[in-house]
Amino acid sequence: MTVQLGEQEPERFERAAVRWHGRREIESPADLRLRESELVLAALAALTTPARDAGLHALLELGRMSGLSTVEAVLTPLL
């Protein structure tokens, strides 16, 4: 998971986060808006900062809003 990569191998995190964001954009059942996409990128960027938990919560909520149930299953244990 991208979140764990940020903690264990931060040098690989940025590319993984961008790839994950791209997959999210393609796989989301909801029509995505530019603002939501920006929020996802900001939340991903927060994962390697002291605001990690806020980033996780934001990704969780954005996943729920987009109808991506797998996001909740993956992120909830990390909180």
**Tens-digit pLDDT profile for residues 8-61:** 567 778 888 888 888 878 877 667 788 888 998 999 889 888 998 999 999 888
pLDDT score for 8: 58
- Residue 22, judged by CB atoms within 10 A of its CB (0-12, 13-18, 19+), counts as exposed
Rounded to two decimals, the pTM is: 0.75
Q: Note every long-range contact of 47-56, with CB atoms under 8 Å and residues 24 or more positions apart, other chains counting.
A: 47/2, 47/3, 47/6, 47/13, 47/17, 48/6, 48/7, 48/10, 48/13, 52/6, 53/79, 56/3
